[in-house]
């Protein structure tokens, strides 16, 4: 297999960063996509990938803007000659009771977590179909894409939608040898779970876990745990897995 190319959104930190750095262990060049203001972090991730002997560049954009997704795909193809893997990882979390949630909250969360994934799936698929050599499309879902938790109604709705998008995309792309799957993590220790009062309650993620009423004793994991699952999804043998939203949650929830 010749060198492949992957785009990873939300790649400045957290799971996106871990996936990019893990992909550098494979024969893959990576394109790191994240929002304005994350340039310094993105430069750091580029250096980590390059230290493993792979090529990388970053692209500043917003997953809710279709032109930005079209442009990152075009620049990836112009730079590396094609696109083989899309990881639609970018996402945002807001903890707020349903009765306090607004239309603006809904549009913002659905915009990043669902529209953003849809646009990544769509433009990756178009490019991969044109190339005619298959591909791997992967999205960030969540335990919240499988089961409701308190105070995250809009986030939960956005992640249930990712599961639906993933199943339909998988069916539509099967004939092109393109798989589409999503990962559904439980509590992963990234900046997404950070709260100013974490130190008072047991460290990173502790406040979010209390607010979500997560079972006491529930374990959290580092982002590399999820990156390893994503690395499986891009292996040749993973051709037989498609349309799945895969739970990786420390036993917090069983399908
Ligand atoms: N951390 C967890 O416990 C957890 C659990 C389940 C699912 N997830 C999901 O996994 C994915 C990664 O989460 P994480 O914990 O690494 O989050 P994170 O907050 O650490 O990182 C998310 C990244 O996405 C970027 N981003 C946000 N909005 C964007 C936009 N409009 N366009 C481009 N980039 C944007 C952010 O700048 C950030 O760098 C998310 O989709 C999240 O919902 C996280």
Which comes out higher in pLDDT, residue 214 or 116?
116
CATH number of 4-186+222-248: 3.40.50.720
Q: What is the mean pLDDT of residues 186-209?
A: 90
60 CB near ligand 1 (under 6 Å): no
Of the given ranges (26-35, 194-203, 231-240), which has the lowest mean pLDDT?
A: 194-203
> What is the rounded average pLDDT of the residues 138-143?
98
pLDDT at 35: 98
Q: Between 217 and 89, whose confidence is greater?
A: 89
Mean pLDDT to the nearest integer, 188-197: 92
Average pLDDT over residues 42-53: 98
Mean pLDDT across the stretch 220-243?
A: 98
Residue 113: the pLDDT is 98
Residue 38 beta carbon below 6 angstroms from any ligand 1 atom: yes
Whether the CB of 44 sits within 6 Å of ligand 1: no
**Cα 212 to ligand 1 centre (Å):** 17
Q: What is the pLDDT of residue 209?
A: 83
Residue whose structure tokens are 């779970």: 193
Residue of minimum CA distance from atom 2 in ligand 1:
188
Q: What is the pLDDT of residue 215?
A: 78
Which residues form the catalytic set?
A: 155, 159
Give the contacts of 185 (CB within 8 A, at least 6 positions apart). 15, 142, 143, 221, 226, 248, 249
The token pair that represents 194 in the structure block? 């950070």
**For residues 217 and 195, which has the higher predicted lDDT (pLDDT)?**
195
Percent of the chain scored above 70 by pLDDT?
100
In angstroms, how far is CA 186 from the centroid of its own chain? 13
- Which pLDDT band, with edges at 50, 70 and 90, does 208 fall under? confident
Tell me what percent of the residues of the chain surpass a pLDDT of 90. Answer: 88
Q: Is the CB of 34 under 6 A from ligand 1?
A: yes
Indicate the domain borders of the chain.
4-186+222-248, 190-220
Mean pLDDT of 204-208: 86
Tell me, what's the pLDDT at 211? 79
pLDDT digits (tens, 9 = 90+) for 66-113: 999 999 999 999 999 999 999 999 999 999 999 999 999 999 999 999
CA of 133 to the centre of ligand 1 (A): 29
64 Cβ closer than 6 Å to some ligand 1 atom? yes
Q: From the alpha carbon of 64, which atom of ligand 1 is closest?
A: 31
| Cα separation, 65 vs 111, whole angstroms | 9
Residue 145 in contact with ligand 1 by CB distance below 6 A = no
**How far, in Å, is the centroid of ligand 1 from the Cα of 190?**
9
Task: Using the mean position of ligand 1's atoms as its centre, give its distance from the Cα of residue 235 in Å.
Answer: 24
Q: How does pLDDT run across 152-189, given as a tens digit for each residue?
A: 999 999 999 999 999 999 999 999 999 999 999 999 99
Counting Cα atoms < 13 Å in the Cβ hemisphere of 49 gives 32
How, if at all, do strands 56-60 and 178-185 pair? unpaired
The chain-wide mean pLDDT, for the chain, equals 96
Nearest to 116 by CA among 77, 79, 86, 80: 86
Q: Compute the CA torsion angle 64, 48, 221, 16 (nearest 10 deg).
A: 10
pLDDT value of residue 210: 83
pLDDT at 226 over 90: yes
Ligand 1 binding pocket mutation candidate from 8, 9, 10 (most atoms within 8 A of CB): 10
Task: Say how many Å lie between the CA of residue 185 and the centre of ligand 1.
Answer: 12
Q: Which atom of ligand 1 is nearest to the CA of 93?
A: 43
pLDDT tier at 207, thresholds 50, 70, 90: confident
Could you tell which of 14, 110, 249 is best to mutate to test the pocket of ligand 1, judged by most ligand atoms within 8 Å of the CB?
A: 14
């Amino acid at each position: 297999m010749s060198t492949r190319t992957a785009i990873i959104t939300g790649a400045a930190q957290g799971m996106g960063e871990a996936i990019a750095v893990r992909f550098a262990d494979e024969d893959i060049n990576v394109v790191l996509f994240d929002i304005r203001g994350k340039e310094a972090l993105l430069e750091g991730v580029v250096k980590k990938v390059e230290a493993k002997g792979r090529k990388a560049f970053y692209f500043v954009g917003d997953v809710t803007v279709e032109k930005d997704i079209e442009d990152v795909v075009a620049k990836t193809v112009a730079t590396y000659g094609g696109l083989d893997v899309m990881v639609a990882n970018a996402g945002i979390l807001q903890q707020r009771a349903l009765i306090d949630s607004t239309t603006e909250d809904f549009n913002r969360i659905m915009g990043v977590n669902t529209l953003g994934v849809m646009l990544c799936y769509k433009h990756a698929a178009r490019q991969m179909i044109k190339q005619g050599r298959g591909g791997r499309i992967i999205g960030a879902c969540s335990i919240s894409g499988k089961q409701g938790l308190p105070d995250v109604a809009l986030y939960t709705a956005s992640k249930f939608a990712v599961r639906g998008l993933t199943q339909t995309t998988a069916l539509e792309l099967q004939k092109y040898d393109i798989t589409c799957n999503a990962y559904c993590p439980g509590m992963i220790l990234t900046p997404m779970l950070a709260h100013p009062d974490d130190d008072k309650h047991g460290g990173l993620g502790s406040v979010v876990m209390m607010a979500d009423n997560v079972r006491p004793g529930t374990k959290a994991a580092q982002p590399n745990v999820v990156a390893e699952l994503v690395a499986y999804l891009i292996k040749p043998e993973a051709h037989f897995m498609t349309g799945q939203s895969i739970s990786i949650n420390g036993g917090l929830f069983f399908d």
